[in-house]
Amino acid sequence: MSKKSQIVESQVLEYSPGKDPFEKSRKKGVTRWILTHIFHGSNKIFIVIVLFTTILASILASLIQVVIGIAVGEFVNSNFEILIPITVIILILGLLTPVFRLVNYLLREVLAQRLERDTRREFYTNLLGKSLSFHDRQKIGELMARVTDDVRMLNFLISPAVSLIFESFTSLIIPVLFIIFLPEYPLQLILAPLIFTILFIISLRSYNRKLSPVTGELRQNFGLINSTLNETLSGIEVVKGSTQERFETNRYLNYARQYRDAYIKQGDVQAKYLPYLLLALTITVGFTHTIILYNLDIIEIDVIFGYLGLLGLLRFPTFISIFVFAIIKLAGSSGKRLLEFMNLTTEIDENLEGFQKEIKGAIKFENVSFKYPESDSYVLKNISFDIKPGQTVAIVGTTGSGKTTLTKLISRLYDVSEGKILIDGVDIRDLTLKNLRDQISYIEQDVFLFSFSIIENIKFGRSASLEEVQEASKQAQAHEFISNLPQKYDTEIGERGVQLSGGERQRVALARAFLSNPKILILDDSTSAIDSNTEDKIQHAIKNILRERTTFLITHRLSQIRWADIILVLKNGVIEAQGNHEEMLRTSEEYRKIFIKKFDLDEDQLLRGVS
């Protein structure tokens, strides 16, 4: 098994729907949700160590400044013999401080990576749990921006943002506490740093208030850029075929310009950051104050140097706050964007407590109607029919008549709006979603293959031997062309299977369906890109393998429709007629019209069976 396959299987094994420790916190806002992540599991002990080492490192840093002040005083007083032990003390303190900081940085990075890992897994799992109708309304590029960049911003929230804020807080408070409690320092020296602290907090509140809308705009514009990029690259053939490169370039540049303008707004807010000026004034006032006290013989020279060293420690919270609060605001906006998506309700209930049973394949539609969410018009109206296990059903109709939508209701890719669908007499909503879909294979005309090897695409999460894969491929008439590829079944086929032709992709998809051994098989024009000779072989294989399976065919090929047990004719979301081929030719004008138009036949020819 390839390394990529092992990674995919491990990710599948980790997915556990219904076991979400963060579901409740998502309803209580961004802050509560992030805190639940941070304090989850074994993170608590790391948090305690991070807080302890931060406080200890700040205490040591402040103590160094005081001891340096004492050393200067002893030097001025010519007490050189005491300078050696003082120097040793400074050296020990200087060595201990980076050790504590190293432990601190290591553990806070672990916390940050865990937050990103858990959030990314939570978001991705939530994404997979949303219904198809939900995804129909989303832009892929916007989702990609959320699952990549927005989640990454939460990593930065912990390291460096929140960690540096706490470090800044200790760097702000502990020097002030040293000034208050050291007996050599007059209490009046607290005046300058106290005023600075008060003004610093006030200016930070104003700064954050102005920064919040800008960061929200930044994240929104980033999502637009990603969405535009994804659409353009996904439709690059259409862009080039229509010579619309200039139009797409201008569209992308327009969003990039909006993103740039938002960054300029952020820079403008940061340029008016006042604490830098406040710190300079504080150091100036503090120094002047110590000189006055020194001239009045209230303090000694060591206090002056120690005091200025403690004031110098205020540079760190002042300098770092301009960056970390911007990161926090960006992370907060990212968190809101993630929760905005995850808290949107999905229209499909997985029904984890529902029935689990082996399906035989009897399907009954009872007055089923369906409309898409946020739409007032029905796509399907009062659909009723009854299929016995093992029967083959062909669905025909003009474009937009609701054929594909009808089949997607069976596997609950969409849920019915009215009425109900029964499988073996049980409402499909009473079955667990996994149990239902495990026994249904759905192959669309536009086959999607993953950028794995061919064997991994055919197996797709299932355990199967090479012999079983080859047998399924032979039934789908795919084994021959696969055997002629350079690495045979281990050949990487590129994103969406671009290295294969349309017919080859459809045969790989059919092999995947055969391998899954479904009780219900839905083929949505799945042989449209296959030549007639290969199609005949595949149809023969399908007939053999699906004798005991219920099959739905969406097709206009008479060669497939003729051997269907039941044919449903859809028109504008309503069943116009149903029966077998001979009955429909005689009784359904709509059925005859479809083939008269498609094959350019007159009605007499069609009735005589000419194709």
Name residue 370's beta-bridge partners: 380
Tell me the backbone φ, ψ of residue 576, rounded to 5 degrees. Answer: -80, -35
In a domain? residue 317: yes
Q: What pLDDT score does 597 carry?
A: 59
- The better pLDDT of the pair 472, 283 is held by 283
| pLDDT tens profile 211-240 | 777 877 777 787 778 777 777 776 776 676
Q: What pLDDT score does 472 carry?
A: 82
What is the domain range of residue 74? 23-342
Of 3-12, 44-53, 226-235, 401-410, the one with minimum mean pLDDT is 3-12
Q: What pLDDT score does 610 carry?
A: 43
Mean per-residue pLDDT, 327-331: 80
CB contact at 8 A, 429 and 349: yes
CA–chain centroid gap for 146, Å, is 6
DSSP H helices in 347-485 = 403-410, 433-438, 454-459, 466-475, 479-483
Q: Residues 269, 134: one domain?
A: yes
Q: What pLDDT score does 425 carry?
A: 84
Q: Residues 312, 373: one domain?
A: no
Q: Which has the closest alpha carbon to 266: 335, 207, 220?
A: 207
Please give the share of the chain, as a percent, with pLDDT higher than 90.
10
Q: What pLDDT score does 603 carry?
A: 56
Confidence of residue 546 (pLDDT cuts 50, 70, 90): low
Confidence of residue 611 (pLDDT cuts 50, 70, 90): very low
Of 54-68, 493-507, 529-543, the one with minimum mean pLDDT is 529-543
Is residue 563 scored above 60 in pLDDT?
Answer: yes
DSSP H helices in 272-395 = 275-295, 301-312, 315-342
CA–chain centroid gap for 313, Å, is 41
Is residue 526 scored above 70 in pLDDT?
Answer: no
Q: Residues 369, 396: one domain?
A: yes
Confidence of residue 137 (pLDDT cuts 50, 70, 90): low
Which residues are within 8 A (CB) of 132 and not within 5 positions of it... i.e. 6 or more apart? 348, 408, 413, 414
Domain CATH code at residue 597: 3.40.50.300
| pLDDT tens profile 292-307 | 999 998 998 989 999 9
Confidence of residue 579 (pLDDT cuts 50, 70, 90): confident
In a domain? residue 456: no
Give Dmax over CA atoms of the chain in angstroms: 123
Count of Cβ atoms closer than 10 Å to residue 31 Cβ: 11
Domain CATH code at residue 229: 1.20.1560.10
Q: Which has the closest alpha carbon to 285: 192, 180, 187?
A: 192
Q: Which of 291, 317, 342 is the last residue of a domain?
A: 342
Is residue 606 scored above 60 in pLDDT?
Answer: no
Dihedral sign, CA of 186, 192, 193, 199?
positive
Q: What pLDDT score does 91 carry?
A: 92
What secondary structure letter does DSSP report for 485? S
Q: Residues 108, 136: one domain?
A: yes
DSSP reduced 3-state for 241: helix
Rounded distance between C-alpha atoms, residue 456 and residue 441, angstroms? 17
Q: What pLDDT score does 63 carry?
A: 92
Q: What pLDDT score does 544 carry?
A: 59
Tell me which range, 50-64, 391-405, 471-485, is most confidently predicted by mean pLDDT: 50-64
Q: Which of 294, 322, 342 is the last residue of a domain?
A: 342
Q: What pLDDT score does 237 carry?
A: 64
Confidence of residue 290 (pLDDT cuts 50, 70, 90): very high
Confidence of residue 3 (pLDDT cuts 50, 70, 90): very low
In a domain? residue 422: yes
Rounded distance between C-alpha atoms, residue 460 and residue 443, angstroms? 14
In a domain? residue 80: yes
Mean per-residue pLDDT, 50-73: 91
End-to-end CA distance of the chain: 47
Q: What pLDDT score does 293 carry?
A: 92
Is residue 321 scored above 50 in pLDDT?
Answer: yes
| pLDDT tens profile 419-461 | 888 888 888 888 887 788 888 887 776 677 777 788 888 887 6
Mean per-residue pLDDT, 158-182: 88
- The better pLDDT of the pair 492, 57 is held by 57
Q: What pLDDT score does 242 carry?
A: 62
Confidence of residue 11 (pLDDT cuts 50, 70, 90): very low
Rounded distance between C-alpha atoms, residue 356 and residue 433, angstroms? 9
Q: Residues 309, 371: one domain?
A: no
Q: Residues 74, 164: one domain?
A: yes
Q: Residues 33, 65: one domain?
A: yes
Is residue 566 scored above 50 in pLDDT?
Answer: yes
Q: What pLDDT score does 234 carry?
A: 67
| pLDDT tens profile 394-410 | 888 777 788 888 888 88
| pLDDT tens profile 13-26 | 344 445 677 878 88
Of 107-121, 197-211, 294-308, the one with minimum mean pLDDT is 197-211
Is residue 108 scored above 70 in pLDDT?
Answer: yes
Q: Which has the closest alpha carbon to 135: 143, 145, 123?
A: 143
Q: What pLDDT score does 498 carry?
A: 63
Please provide the size of the chain in residues.
Answer: 611
Please give the share of the chain, as a percent, with pLDDT higher than 70.
83
Q: What pLDDT score does 461 carry?
A: 63
Token pair 């794995």 is found at 452
In a domain? residue 73: yes
In a domain? residue 155: yes
Q: Residues 176, 316: one domain?
A: yes
Q: Residues 338, 358: one domain?
A: no
DSSP H helices in 77-162 = 83-129, 132-136, 140-145, 151-156
Confidence of residue 190 (pLDDT cuts 50, 70, 90): very high
Of 107-116, 137-146, 376-385, 499-508, the one with minimum mean pLDDT is 137-146
Confidence of residue 484 (pLDDT cuts 50, 70, 90): confident
Mean per-residue pLDDT, 374-388: 84
Sheet containing strand 363-370, strands side by side: 380-387, 363-370, 418-423, 426-427
In a domain? residue 475: no
Is residue 543 scored above 70 in pLDDT?
Answer: no
Q: What pLDDT score does 358 carry?
A: 79
Of 84-98, 215-229, 312-326, 365-379, the one with minimum mean pLDDT is 215-229
| pLDDT tens profile 494-504 | 666 667 777 77
Q: Residues 403, 293: one domain?
A: no
In a domain? residue 460: no
Q: Residues 282, 399: one domain?
A: no
Mean pLDDT score of the chain, rounded to an integer? 79
Q: Residues 338, 360: one domain?
A: no
- Give ∠ CA 306-163-326 in degrees, rounded to 5: 100
Read off the pTM: 0.64
Confidence of residue 483 (pLDDT cuts 50, 70, 90): confident
Q: What pLDDT score does 54 carry?
A: 92
Total structural domains within the chain? 2
Q: Which of 294, 314, 342 is the last residue of a domain?
A: 342
Is residue 192 scored above 50 in pLDDT?
Answer: yes
